Structure 1
Amino acid sequence: MELRQLRYFMEVAEREHVSDAALHLHIAQSAISRQIANLEAELGVQLFERTGRNVKLTPIGKTFFYHTKVAMKAIDHAKKQVDEYIDPERGSIKIGFPTSLASNLLPNVLAVFKKKYPNISFHLRQGSYSFLIESVKSREIDVAFLGPVPIDDPDIIGDILFSEDLYALVPNDHPMANRKSIYLAELKQDPFVLFPKGYIFEKLAMDGCKQAGFEPHVTSEGEDLDAIKGLVAAGMGITLLPESAFSEVNTTFTSKIAISNPQLCRTVGIITPKHRNLAPSETVFYQFVLNHFRNLD
């Protein structure tokens, strides 16, 4: 079994088309077909079945594909470790981040880091809370910024960089729009605009309202920060968001108000895999981030 065979196999499995795989790999279709035939002969099983002009994985082919992906990620990571051993200040890092940290934390950290380590490059991937955690586990990304920081996942190391308060965002014509701070319970009669169930911001808001002794009346939902803010600006309701989710303190249509009781906050940090070592460039970045926020403190 050769690495070349496995890479050909993965390309065909992902594209479900031999010709498309050959075109992407810049090799002859016959070469791919021959190598996959050799692989099937060595394994003693059929990995693909034809469906018209396309091919699909057989049940055992799907099992082999899953384990091959895991193995190839490990091999690629090992090669990266060797390449960067010679010069840890060269390399590339796959960094994940949520929308709420995209406008402030991430650009500030990366700008300072690039001045010190100009030869390390980044591949950035935005994603949801659960996506970022699973992507670190599966090697799709190397490290991720996240909030709140998971503390009970057996496969993740979470380092808290700072904590931030949650604020109420209300339309400018709201009776409390000019208040500097409020008790959250004062908003219990208001309609709420939240993310759908399953989103981390929905959970933060629901938990906060429960601490204040009520369950919010959710009348509208949005799946991203701009949608949530837009619905609040349109007067559809109010919402709760962490400080880093605000690019401005107040806008023409909304006001941000501090919550004095209960005190609601979330942790923000960086997550790394627990069961594999970071590559040298990833370690340089990880240590830089920890030191950067220690110095800020």
Structure 2
Amino acid sequence: MEIRQIRYFMEVAMREHVTDAADALHVAQSSVSRQIFNLESELGVDLFIREGRRVKLTPIGKIFLDRMQQAMNFIDEARREVEEYLDPEKGTIRIAYPISLAAYTLPTVIYAFRLRYPEAKFQLKQALYRDIIDGVIKGDFNLALIGPLPMEERKIDRKILFTENIVALLPIHHPLAERSSLKLRELKDDPFVLLPEGFVFRDIVVNACNELGFSPHVAFEGDDIDALKGLVSAGLGVALMPEVTLVESIPRSTVKIPLTEPNVTRTVGVITPIHRSLLPTEKLFYDFLNEFFARLDHFNN
């Protein structure tokens, strides 16, 4: 088996089309077909089901793809480790993050890091909560910012960077809009705007309401935090959201109000794989994360 064969195989598997894979690889279609044929002959199995010009993985092909993705991750990391060993300040950091940290937290820390290491590069991946955890475990990336921290997962290491408050965002003409604080149960009869099911932050909101004996009436769903802000601005409901998402500005026609009962919070931190070491540039960024948020916490207190 050659690395070239594996790369050709993975490209065809992703695109389910030999011609499209060849175009993406900038090689002749016949070369891709020949390498796939040689790989199947060497393994003694069919990796693809041919359906005209399209192809689909066989059951064993799916297993082989999963293993090869992990293997190629290790090969790519080995190459990067050698490069970064020579000059870690010029390496690449692959990091995943959820949508709630995309607008402020991650850009802020990357900006500060690149002031110190201006030649460092980043590959960023926004993903759902469970996909972030699985990606760190499988080796798709070695670092992820995440909130809340998954405390039960045994295959990752975790470090809390800060704990943030969850606040209420109300339309400016809401009857409680002039309050300096409010109790969550005071919103039990209001329409809520929430993220769709599958987002862990939705679970935080729903669980906080359930603990007070009510289920939020979901009037609308938004695909991201900015969508929720827009729905509240339009007067279509109330929302709970991480305070960090409102740091730079409060959306037009809305007010932010702290919650006092209960004090809803979430932990935000960084996770890394327990069985793999960080690459040199990743280790620089990991140490910087801890230093940055420790200094920020000291300043705030």
Residue pair 1:249, 1:255 contacting (<8 A) in 2 also: no
Matches within 5 A, 1:7-22: 7-22=7-22
Amino acid paired to 1:74: F
Provide the residue aligned with 1:245 in structure 2. Answer: 245
Cα 1:83–1:169 change in 2 (3 A) is same
Is residue 289 from structure 1 mapped to residue 296 from structure 2 by the alignment? no
CA shift at 1:249, angstroms?
5.6
C-alpha offsets along residues 101-139 of structure 1, whole Å, 9 cap, x if unaligned?
A: 222211221111111112210112222222222222232
SS class of match (1:149)? coil
Amino acid paired to 2:72: M
Residue pair 1:192, 1:219 contacting (<8 A) in 2 also: yes
CA shift at 1:42, angstroms?
1.4
Decide which moves more: 11-20 or 287-296: 11-20
CA shift at 1:194, angstroms?
1.6
CA shift at 1:282, angstroms?
0.7
Decide which moves more: 229-238 or 279-288: 229-238
Residue pair 1:103, 1:247 contacting (<8 A) in 2 also: no
Aligned length: 297
Residue pair 2:230, 2:251 contacting (<8 A) in 1 also: no
CA shift at 1:161, angstroms?
0.6
Cα 1:278–1:258 change in 2 (3 A) is same
Provide the residue aligned with 1:93 in structure 2. Answer: 93
RMSD of aligned alpha carbons? 1.8
SS class of match (1:89)? helix
C-alpha offsets along residues 178-232 of structure 1, whole Å, 9 cap, x if unaligned?
A: 1111122222222222223322121111122233343222222222112212222
Residue pair 2:91, 2:281 contacting (<8 A) in 1 also: yes
% same residue: 51
Provide the residue aligned with 2:227 in structure 1. Answer: 227
| 2: CA distance, partners of 1:58 / 1:211 | 47
Provide the residue aligned with 1:4 in structure 2. Answer: 4
| 2: CA distance, partners of 1:27 / 1:123 | 26
Structure 1 gaps, min length 5 = none
CA shift at 1:247, angstroms?
4.4
| 2: CA distance, partners of 1:263 / 1:26 | 56
C-alpha offsets along residues 239-280 of structure 1, whole Å, 9 cap, x if unaligned?
A: 111101224564431111111111111111111112211111
Amino acid paired to 1:211: E
Is residue 258 from structure 1 mapped to residue 286 from structure 2 by the alignment? no
Residue pair 1:166, 1:243 contacting (<8 A) in 2 also: yes
Cα 1:168–1:189 change in 2 (3 A) is same
Cα 1:120–1:248 change in 2 (3 A) is closer
TM-score between the two structures when normalised by the length of structure 1:
0.93
| 2: CA distance, partners of 1:62 / 1:126 | 25
Decide which moves more: 27-36 or 64-73: 27-36
| 2: CA distance, partners of 1:248 / 1:178 | 21
Residue pair 1:169, 1:241 contacting (<8 A) in 2 also: yes
| 2: CA distance, partners of 1:17 / 1:34 | 14
Provide the residue aligned with 1:182 in structure 2. Answer: 182
Provide the residue aligned with 1:27 in structure 2. Answer: 27
SS class of match (1:235)? coil
CA shift at 1:156, angstroms?
1.9
| 1: CA distance, partners of 2:26 / 2:233 | 52
Cα 1:48–1:235 change in 2 (3 A) is same
Provide the residue aligned with 1:136 in structure 2. Answer: 136
Decide which moves more: 120-129 or 189-198: 189-198
